[in-house]
Amino acid sequence: MQTVHHHNLTLPIELILISFELALTPFNFQIATSISLTCSWARRFCTPYLFSTLSVNNVQQLTLPPTIGRAVHNLWVDHVGTDWERVGGLFGRCPNFERIALPGAYMKALCGSLPDLHESQGKHEELGGRSVARCRSLFIFGDMDGSFAAFTSFTHLTFLKNITHLRIEAPVDVVKSIPGELLPNLTHLALPISKPFLTLDGAGSLIIVRMMSSLEKLEKLVLTTDMNVYVVAYTSYLSLRRRLSEWRGRARVGFLIVWETDADVEKWKYEIKEGVTVWDNPAIDWIQRPHVRRSAGEI
């Protein structure tokens, strides 16, 4: 057993590590930084704590050292003033991300990096490492045009198959932008409400009902709006609420005013730290279905 000697004090290294773990639970960035500055092995110990959640907002941050990239589990990529090709390498350096938030314009970069990411994950497991994390949560902001169009290969489809939570903060064509057949395990969906939701398809069904029906495991759908278009959006929601009065599907549908008009990285970090999501917001106005009896385990 290793020990650390300081004057007359002798402590086993295991006890020091336990003390560090207690000091970092719940996580405090300032404490983690202070501990990491004491020595090299303390810095290595604190790396997974310091870089578990990472926001990238400039070009220089695209070239992460491997030790930092492997520690990232929650990744936010902002518009960094460069084209999508340069962003692609970042995702390969962060093979363990479980949550990712990025502009719609960088979805092509994510798509292009998935084969290399899949290969690096496989090598990691072959070397005896633990099964690397798989992305479960995808948050897209900005232009959504054709965001899922390039997801065609087996690796791409495997990535989408793992997604359970999808949040979009941009006007979308709900039929073209939410490929239900590619998201078989999606349980939570949040996207801005728009008038096309109230239109009918060729079979005379609401477009939004068609979308929800294609997402067999969907449990919660939150339709969002900001204060700039609140009146129009809420009017659309009331109309939708009336027309969904006989909705017999699994998913609960709710309406939420999002006070921030732009994607907010600090709020995203706060939600991760506190273990809450937009679907947990107490301000959501849920469409209740009193005529539908839920089992104890159903949301």
pLDDT digits (tens, 9 = 90+) for 246-274: 666 778 888 887 765 557 888 898 888 88
DSSP-assigned beta bridge partners for residue 220:
188, 252
77 in a domain, yes or no?
yes
Tell whether 217 and 115 lie within a shared domain: no
Q: What is the pLDDT of residue 100?
A: 94
Q: pLDDT band at residue 129, thresholds of 50, 70 and 90?
A: very low
Q: What is the pLDDT of residue 296?
A: 40
Share of the chain above pLDDT 90, in %: 12
Tell whether 36 and 78 lie within a shared domain: no
Q: What is the pLDDT of residue 189?
A: 92
181 in a domain, yes or no?
no
> Average pLDDT of 17-24?
71
* Higher local confidence (pLDDT), 15 or 227: 15
- Is the pLDDT at 1 greater than 60, yes or no? no
Domains contained in the chain, number: 3
Q: What is the pLDDT of residue 24?
A: 63
172 in a domain, yes or no?
no
CA 182/CA 159 separation, integer angstroms: 10
Tell whether 139 and 104 lie within a shared domain: yes
Tell whether 246 and 151 lie within a shared domain: no
- Is the pLDDT at 86 greater than 80, yes or no? no
DSSP-derived pairing of the beta strands 74-77 and 53-56? parallel
Tell whether 38 and 5 lie within a shared domain: yes
Q: What is the pLDDT of residue 3?
A: 52
DSSP 3-state assignment of 114? helix
Tell whether 63 and 102 lie within a shared domain: yes
**146: left (phi > 0), else alpha (psi -120 to 50), else beta?**
left
Tell whether 292 and 213 lie within a shared domain: yes
CA 220/CA 298 separation, integer angstroms: 11
Tell whether 45 and 62 lie within a shared domain: no
215 in a domain, yes or no?
yes
Q: pLDDT band at residue 180, thresholds of 50, 70 and 90?
A: confident
Residue with tokens 């998935």: 114
Q: What is the pLDDT of residue 51?
A: 85
- Identify whether the C-beta of residue 161 lies closer than 8 Å to the C-beta of residue 114: no
Question: Which range among 67-76, 83-92, 162-171 shows the weakest confidence by mean pLDDT?
Answer: 83-92
Average pLDDT over the chain, rounded to an integer: 76
Tell whether 23 and 66 lie within a shared domain: no
- Is the pLDDT at 225 greater than 50, yes or no? yes
10 in a domain, yes or no?
yes
* Higher local confidence (pLDDT), 108 or 23: 108
Tell whether 143 and 228 lie within a shared domain: no
Tell whether 6 and 42 lie within a shared domain: yes
280 in a domain, yes or no?
yes
178 in a domain, yes or no?
no
Tell whether 13 and 58 lie within a shared domain: no
Cα–Cα distances (Å) from 239 to 53, 198, 227, 266, in that order, read 40, 8, 19, 34
Q: What is the pLDDT of residue 231?
A: 73
Question: Which range among 86-95, 120-129, 160-169 shows the weakest confidence by mean pLDDT?
Answer: 120-129
154 in a domain, yes or no?
yes
Q: What is the pLDDT of residue 200?
A: 66
CATH at 247: 3.40.50
Q: Which domain does 292 fall in, by range?
A: 186-299
CA 291/CA 267 separation, integer angstroms: 36
- Is the pLDDT at 299 greater than 50, yes or no? no
Angle between helices 40-50 and 13-23 (to 10 degrees): 30
Domain boundary among 96, 129, 163: 163
